[in-house]
Structure 1
Amino acid sequence: MGNVMNLGRLLSDTARRLPDRTALVWGAQSWSWTETDARVDALVAALRQRGIVKGDPILVQARNSNQLFESLWAAFKLGAVWVPTNYRLTPPEVAYLATASGAKALIYDDAFPAHADAVQAASKMLKLIVAIGQPRADELSFDGLVADALGASEPEAEVDHGDPCWFFYTSGTTGRPKAAVLTHGQLAFVVNNHLADLMPGTGPDDASLVVAPLSHGAGAHALSQVARGAKSVMLAGDRFDEEEVWRLVQEHRITNMFTVPTILTRMVRHPAVDHFDHSSLRYVIYAGAPMYRADQKEALEKLGKVIVQYYGLGEVTGNITVLPREAHSLDDDAMPVGSCGFARTGMEIAIKDAEGKRLGAGEQGEICVRGPAVFAGYHDNPEANAKALKDGWFHTGDLGRLDERGFLYITGRASDMYISGGSNVYPREAEEVLLTHPAVAEVAILGVPDPEWGETGIAVVVLEAGQAADEAELLAFLKDKLARYKQPRRVFFWAELPKSGYGKVPKHLIRNELFARGDLAEVAAQ
């Protein structure tokens, strides 16, 4: 494909163009573009000096911070691969990511010592461990490395279009997460596409509020802000605080933010929305799950015509559809209610049947997509690649239909995935852990509607003959083995699970039975 721009240049170029403008704000601290770029270059120099080279994966276990933000740009400039975790994962889950990615370095925030220990114990490839905060024996200090190398001027590594720069971990339907390989060339398209379709006209006078972890969709959103010289403002604390959100919107004249429907609804319903001025908002972008029509209307009434929806997976870095501001309306007749929008610029959507044949308008099938935003495949996973990248299209695993005008409606999931608080949850992960409990013979977990999280998991368990266990015991058994958002909230015990003619356990039969027994009504009432 030939050389392309190293994505790290987005930061270098903005720092040259707008040296003294603010790049990043976190609590009482702020950094100019020059300061941010200088810190990143120092980290690049320090890591290069210690043997981290082009292509090396750098695992990062950290909550949002200026250091997490800087680690992304340093990885890009090095030509290395940024491998951020979802910081809510448990130590064994992060240790798996370290070995699966072949991580050569770990950057972790000192709130997660057990994670660092688990990575070190599991990984044979690890060359160094860098602590954000207080390093322990044989660890390096992130800020120490930066301070020692400040003033270094580091050239960005030469890269090709297909060179990886980010392993975007997606929950695996097979119980193990898979690394979607994002590349310099592909993400350059994504940055342009986000600016064109989600927040046109974004520039240096804009300000973006970071309310979600930079390790996932919010990180992709931040790339576009850097490209245009718009400052990013992070929440000061670890916990999501609606009052702080609205205070920061007023204080920094925030113009855009990326969030998920459950969080947007919490923000809109919180009394603080009426106590602070949010008239600066131009684009409030939501993705990651469908939004109930009633919640959509509530957001439009409170914030005005500023909400933008998109649909996209990590594998296409958010680039499948957009429902722009002007397509949203309080009037049901004036908008395609229930649609997640039309194809993003330069991207094509097809609805296909099981044989791969393209279906017509109104027909339901699998949502498939092609175009420059499609990833390079899963790292070290030929089986998953063969399935997901058949016949030149990326197969999403989601079911849907296109109307005559090209608006997409998601009608279901080919898999059993549910979305809790904006995070994808594949029940098989928790099912496999529960099956290791001596009392559990069979288990099925499914997502059910939840007023706070959008969906939450419930487990139906069949016990081994002669064995006993209760809900509290099984939930406690899961506690340290899986991230909390992946754990079911309730457990029901049945004598047997319904089976199909093929001996499988169809989740829709379990759902029907839960309704029939009144158990789902009990969950909904809680």
Structure 2
Amino acid sequence: MTATARRAANLAEILSQTARRLPDGTAVVHGATRWTWRELDRRVDALAAEFTRRGVGKGDVVMLDSPNHPEFVQAMFATWRIGAVLAPVNSRLHDDDVAVIAGVCRPSVMIGHASTTSHVDAVAAAHGLRGGVLWIDDRDADGDAVADVPEATDAPARVATWEGDPAWYFFTSGTSGTPKAAILTHDQLGFVVNNHLADLMPTTDSHHASLVVAPLSHGAGVHMLPQVARGAATILPSSVSLDPEEVWGLVESEGVTNMFTVPTILKVLVDHPAVNRHDHTSLRYVIYAGAPMYTPDQERARALLGEVLVQYYGLAEVTGNITVLPSADHGRPVPYGLSAGTCGYPRTGMLVSVQDETGAEVPAGEIGELCVAGPAVFAGYLDNPKANADAFRDGWFRTGDLGVMDSDGYLYVTGRSSDMYISGGSNIHPRDIEEKILTHDAIDEVAVLGVPDPKWGEVGVAVCVRTAGGAVTAEELTAWLGERMARYKLPRHVLFWDALPKSGYGKIVKRTIRDELAGQGWGPYAAALQVVS
């Protein structure tokens, strides 16, 4: 049977529909700025018309490089309204990183911010921008400001959108080499919107409000889409950096019902005294993803906020749609002697399989690679056939994560396959050790890595951050840990740092830790000491 091309709903349609249905409802809040859905929709039309005047159209790429701001949201929907492809980047990246990303996606126009001027210069110098540059939140920019774009006299014509048309080039952080652009399509993201509403925050409607505490360029931007679809307001803090006092103040003043965050940010928020100074009883869903949240941090957040935590596990390539752990399932008993709790069960309409190196599914309780199939899986990497070939096997997307499925269908992520190290012939999974170390009262954060060793092949290094006032030596921590796990798993070295490096999305970056260790001389013959304090 011959396949027939099918129309797809352009993502900009969810805004148009909400603006028609709820024109005077609150769409975006940022300091004193409060846009209605009608106003946001008109601003999107205006910027879409400006893109068209600049020769930007369907299939062209709009690079968006700014901290969170209402005009960021405007630019997202204006890009989709003309059928162009959004390529947002983290505004905290280095100039060279942004230039490399631009080399992958080749933007026609760039939306910048005063804080990202050097990024814009780097991209323009390396690749050129035929559609020029527009600036967010800056009427005095040396160029054109988004705020000064004239209102469109006529609404832009609807662009025909088809299944498979790209909407978003979502850049993966990767572990080495050039970043890859995961192609997210309009129809795939339409499924994700519905899936988020079904699995993460099912009661969301126009009476709700969502607080953004992570960059819109990544998972928080995807999380915003179902808010727009249901007419829930998006609240953007005024502070560019995380300010717990402002966050909890906004939760109280705006009656925030949900927020998307990552474990490191959520830990900062619940550890800050401001959490006890503001009313947060309006919260129904505090959704966290992007990295494992250690059990002690989960328990503290639940004690302070109530049973509102919702975890999801996912990757850029599956747009967060792998598993969900509702609030009622937090605290579920951990089987098989695993140290970490479950990340939940497969998302609605998705398939999850734990497979061995041949692609065969392993029995419940056995560790294997987590593989995924279903409508939320991306269309592939942009212009990267080798990466596509490596990423798929027999129709399954290979996450590169290791985990276990229990007999009830709940998944337990034990770590990245790239994080595992082999010491004396034994496979060591750092997550297991990190969970144990974090139960020590004097430890606030930890990352465990394998480093080369001439005798054992590899040995573990635990890089720890002490709590405020915490007093523990490497010898004491090793002895304490030795009473709680098998000796072969014990890190051979324990280091204490003032802080662990984190990405712009709040994840601990083990690659950077590894580079810093290498710079300090941690090579193949640096394992002479048992512990380093």
TM-score class, shorter-chain normalisation, is 0.7 to 0.9
Take 2:22 and 2:162, find their aligned partners in 1: how far apart are those partners?
A: 27
Q: Which position in structure 1 is the counterpart of 2:396?
A: 393
Take 2:325 and 2:155, find their aligned partners in 1: how far apart are those partners?
A: 42
Take 2:462 and 2:146, find their aligned partners in 1: how far apart are those partners?
A: 40
Cα offsets for 1:72-127 (capped at 9, x unmatched)? 11111111110000111111111111121011111101222211110110014643
Q: Percent identity?
A: 48
Distance 1:496 1:35, change over 3 A: closer
Q: Which position in structure 2 is the counterpart of 1:2?
A: 6
Give the unaligned 5+ runs of structure 1: 420-424, 428-443, 453-482, 500-509
Q: CA deviation at 1:150?
A: 3.9
Cα offsets for 1:322-373 (capped at 9, x unmatched)? 000111249889xx96110000000000011111111111111110000000
Q: Which position in structure 2 is the counterpart of 1:187?
A: 189
Q: Which position in structure 2 is the counterpart of 1:18?
A: 22
Q: Which position in structure 2 is the counterpart of 1:291?
A: 293
Q: Which position in structure 2 is the counterpart of 1:234?
A: 236
Take 1:274 and 1:45, find their aligned partners in 2: how far apart are those partners?
A: 47
Q: Which position in structure 2 is the counterpart of 1:41?
A: 45
Take 1:496 and 1:320, find their aligned partners in 2: how far apart are those partners?
A: 36
**Structure 1 length as normaliser, TM-score?**
0.81
1:338 is matched by which residue type in structure 2?
A: G
Q: CA deviation at 1:496?
A: 7.5
Q: Is the 8 A contact 2:332 2:341 kept in 1?
A: no
Q: CA deviation at 1:149?
A: 3.0
Distance 1:52 1:451, change over 3 A: farther
Provide the secondary structure at the position in 2 that maps to 1:4: coil
Q: Which position in structure 2 is the counterpart of 1:480?
A: none
Q: Which position in structure 2 is the counterpart of 1:376?
A: 379
Take 1:201 and 1:157, find their aligned partners in 2: how far apart are those partners?
A: 32
Q: Which position in structure 2 is the counterpart of 1:349?
A: 352
Q: Which position in structure 1 is the counterpart of 2:154?
A: 152
Distance 1:249 1:371, change over 3 A: same
Structure 2 residue aligned with 1:29, among 13, 25, 33? 33
* 1:199-238 correspondence to structure 2 within 5 Å: 199-238=201-240
Take 2:199 and 2:222, find their aligned partners in 1: how far apart are those partners?
A: 14
1:266 is matched by which residue type in structure 2?
A: V
CA RMSD of aligned residues (A): 2.8
Take 1:390 and 1:236, find their aligned partners in 2: how far apart are those partners?
A: 45
* 1:102-141 correspondence to structure 2 within 5 Å: 102-124=106-128, 126-132=130-136, 133-134=138-139, 139-141=143-145
Structure 1 stretch displaced more, 340-349 or 152-161: 152-161
* 1:163-182 correspondence to structure 2 within 5 Å: 163-182=165-184
Cα offsets for 1:151-195 (capped at 9, x unmatched)? 431233111110000000002333211100000000000000000
Distance 1:135 1:200, change over 3 A: same
Say whether 1:359 aligns with 2:362: yes
Take 1:185 and 1:164, find their aligned partners in 2: how far apart are those partners?
A: 9
Q: Which position in structure 2 is the counterpart of 1:440?
A: none
Distance 1:204 1:494, change over 3 A: closer
Distance 1:143 1:331, change over 3 A: same
Q: Which position in structure 2 is the counterpart of 1:56?
A: 60
Take 1:495 and 1:248, find their aligned partners in 2: how far apart are those partners?
A: 46
Q: Which position in structure 2 is the counterpart of 1:435?
A: none
Take 1:87 and 1:295, find their aligned partners in 2: how far apart are those partners?
A: 28
Aligned residues: 451
2:319 is matched by which residue type in structure 1?
A: T
Q: Is the 8 A contact 2:310 2:325 kept in 1?
A: yes
Take 1:198 and 1:292, find their aligned partners in 2: how far apart are those partners?
A: 20
Q: Is the 8 A contact 2:331 2:341 kept in 1?
A: no
Q: CA deviation at 1:498?
A: 3.1
Take 1:296 and 1:20, find their aligned partners in 2: how far apart are those partners?
A: 38
Give the unaligned 5+ runs of structure 2: 421-429, 432-446, 450-458, 468-506
Q: CA deviation at 1:451?
A: 6.3
Cα offsets for 1:457-516 (capped at 9, x unmatched)? xxxxxxxxxxxxxxxxxxxxxxxxxx99674495466778339xxxxxxxxxx8xx49x5
Q: Is the 8 A contact 2:110 2:129 kept in 1?
A: no
Distance 1:395 1:492, change over 3 A: closer
Q: Is the 8 A contact 2:169 2:182 kept in 1?
A: yes
Take 2:464 and 2:408, find their aligned partners in 1: how far apart are those partners?
A: 30
Q: Which position in structure 1 is the counterpart of 2:531?
A: 518
